């Protein structure tokens, strides 16, 4: 039997200035992201759509936290909406990290099947993780099925942690196949992509670990009593990750196709000449 105080609601009284400040930061980041995406002609399309949706979901959640009263906030509908928005925004950021590596693979044509496999598997596991949150949220309001709710939530969080950790395996592969062959003409893009992925992967891992710890009943009773934990290890890293995407937009952190093709022409010519000999 789990002894959960006020589950699934938090024990603290949320402050209003915090969500307002975060909403302003996210709004500015979203504007910057959209402007740069327009300049880049919305390419790469999938990545831009994913990061945009992540911005919008977290922005809406922050606005709701700022405007809803305590009475409305502590209802099943408000809780489910807030949890869903946070889950979508956070999980899409993990997907965006993978899709960014997929773009590098496609640019360097180092593999034809891997990008499709990675995209499919990552999105599938993220969807499964999100689906598991549905019964976790609904059962959390049934005192007789709290244990089942906790187990669903723990499985969902464990999947996200696995995807956050397995990202480094794919990154190592891309680093060996693509980054090490980077030319000086797109070394700046390489540097910015390293900065982007280094910070965002650590932030994603931080949130994933926090969610796993938070899903443990004993830890939930402690972490749910102070709003600082939520801002430091959940919402804060998500917003910082979104700002990193805006500051290192794919327009700058991904080399242009024509630049890569130009660098590959001399190599191809040399190879053909050796073949003729």
Is the CATH number of domain 17-276 2.60.120? no
* Per-residue pLDDT at 2: 57
Burial label, 109 (beta-carbon count in 10 A; 0-12, 13-18, 19+): exposed
Map out the domains of the chain as residue ranges. 17-276
In sequence order, what are the residues at sequence separation of 6 or more whose Cβ sits closer than 8 angstroms to the Cβ of residue 268? Answer: none
Query: Residue 174 has what pLDDT?
Result: 86
Eight-class DSSP state of 44: S
Tally of residues, the chain: 277
Spatial CA neighbour of 86 closest among 67, 68, 59, 66 = 59
Q: Higher confidence at residue 215 or residue 261? A: 215
pTM check: above 0.85: yes
pLDDT of residue 222: 85
Residues 107-134 have a mean pLDDT of 90
> Per-residue pLDDT tens for 19-51?
999 999 999 999 999 999 999 999 999 999 999
- What torsion, rounded to 10 degrees, do the Cα atoms 143, 145, 148, 150 define? 0
How large a percentage of the chain has pLDDT more than 70? 87
Instruction: Work out the percent of the chain whose per-residue pLDDT is above 90.
Output: 61
| Closest of 22, 34, 89 to residue 56, by C-alpha | 89
Distance of CA 85 to the CA centre of its chain: 13
> pLDDT (tens digit, 9 = 90+) per residue, 3-20?
666 677 777 777 889 999
């Amino acid at each position: 039997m789990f002894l959960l105080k006020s589950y699934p609601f938090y024990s603290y009284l949320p402050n209003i200035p915090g969500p307002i400040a975060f909403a302003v930061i996210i709004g500015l980041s979203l504007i910057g992201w959209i402007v740069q995406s327009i300049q880049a002609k919305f390419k790469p399309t999938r990545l831009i759509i994913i990061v945009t949706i992540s911005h919008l979901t977290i922005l809406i959640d922050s606005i709701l936290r700022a405007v809803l009263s305590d009475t409305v906030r502590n209802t099943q509908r408000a809780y489910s909406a807030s949890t869903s928005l946070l889950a979508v925004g956070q999980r899409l950021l993990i997907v965006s990290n993978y899709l960014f590596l997929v773009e590098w693979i496609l640019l360097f044509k180092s593999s034809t099947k891997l990008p499709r496999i990675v995209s499919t598997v990552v999105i599938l596991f993220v969807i499964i993780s999100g689906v598991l949150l549905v019964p976790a949220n609904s059962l959390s309001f049934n005192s007789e099925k709290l244990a089942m709710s906790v187990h669903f939530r723990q499985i969902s969080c464990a999947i996200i942690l696995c995807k956050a950790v397995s990202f480094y395996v794919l990154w190592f592969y891309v680093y060996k196949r693509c980054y090490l062959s980077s030319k000086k003409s797109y070394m700046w893009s390489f540097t910015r992509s390293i900065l982007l992925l280094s910070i965002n992967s650590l932030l994603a891992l931080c949130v994933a670990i926090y969610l796993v710890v938070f899903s443990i009943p004993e830890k939930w009773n402690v972490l749910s009593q102070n709003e600082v934990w939520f801002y430091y290890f959940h919402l804060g890293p998500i917003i910082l990750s979104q700002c990193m995407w805006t500051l290192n937009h794919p327009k700058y952190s991904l080399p242009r196709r024509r630049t890569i093709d130009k660098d590959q022409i001399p190599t191809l010519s040399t190879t053909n000449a050796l073949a003729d000999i």
